[in-house]
Chain A
Amino acid sequence: DGGITQSPKYLFRKEGQNVTLSCEQNLNHDAMYWYRQDPGQGLRLIYYSQIVNDFQKGDIAEGYSVSREKKESFPLTVTSAQKNPTAFYLCASSLRGQGGEQFFGPGTRLTVL
């Protein structure tokens, strides 16, 4: 299951705190994505990046921020503005512009206490 990793696997946060989720890939993929997964909701796109130093909002970007300073890394910050942050977060990567397979990381389960 190598290639794309996320850390930590479980994360607990108090209300009002920002928290950053890590995503790293060694697949030499240009494109990277962040999804949020809630029961019965499928995979909803938070942010995506097609190339270093560029990223775009997805369908549910409010309360989240990202950066893409390196090709290998696409960290996601869940800010205190996100009203319901408890969820399973998945990072993915793919070859840019290929319309092909996205490779997923193992996910981070965030719980707000």
Chain B
Amino acid sequence: GENVEQHPSTLSVQEGDSAVIKCTYSDSASNYFPWYKQELGKRPQLIIDIRSNVGEKKDQRIAVTLNKTAKHFSLHITETQPEDSAVYFCAAPRSGSQGNLIFGKGTKLSVKP
């Protein structure tokens, strides 16, 4: 069946280092890949997304890359700060159900000062 695999499940970095989280998906027809950030006890919020017609998208310290051939996409955070500490979720479209998403299991990022 459909699946979105997300790795690693936990990631600890020093402030100022970079962090990379990777997701793989199974449906080659997928065309939309969002990333959500969820702070402790809060709701998930979209931080960046990419559509299949581009290979990379940047927004300040955050970037997402997409490799359609290999069916994986990655979140890159540069110059990490303590406020980047949160759980990050990737997602991909659910086949046959427009607007519906399948989420990865999340990555808990800890940025140590």
Interface of B is mostly: loop
Q: How far is the CA of A98 from the CA of B106 in the complex (A)?
A: 24
Contact B106 A95 (CB under 8 A): no
Interface of A is mostly: loop
**Range, interface on chain B:** 20 to 34
Contact A42 B100 (CB under 8 A): no
Q: How far is the CA of A5 from the CA of B9 in the complex (A)?
A: 29
* Interface status of A61 (Cβ within 8 A of chain B): no
| Chain A residues closer than 8 Å to B99, beta-carbon distance | 31, 50, 94-100, 102
| Chain A residues closer than 8 Å to B97, beta-carbon distance | 48, 56
Contact B93 A43 (CB under 8 A): no
Mark B72-113 against chain A: 1 for CB-CB distance below 8 A, else 0: 000000000000000001000110011111111110000000
Where the two chains meet, the residues of A that have a C-beta atom closer than 8 Å to any C-beta of B are 1, 31, 33, 35, 40-45, 48, 50, 56, 90, 94-102, 104-107
Closest 4 CB pairs of A and B: A42-B105, A97-B98, A104-B43, A43-B103
* 17 intermolecular pairs with C-beta atoms under 8 Å apart: A31-B99, A35-B103, A40-B105, A40-B106, A43-B89, A48-B100, A50-B98, A98-B99, A99-B32, A99-B93, A99-B98, A99-B99, A101-B34, A101-B46, A102-B34, A104-B44, A106-B43
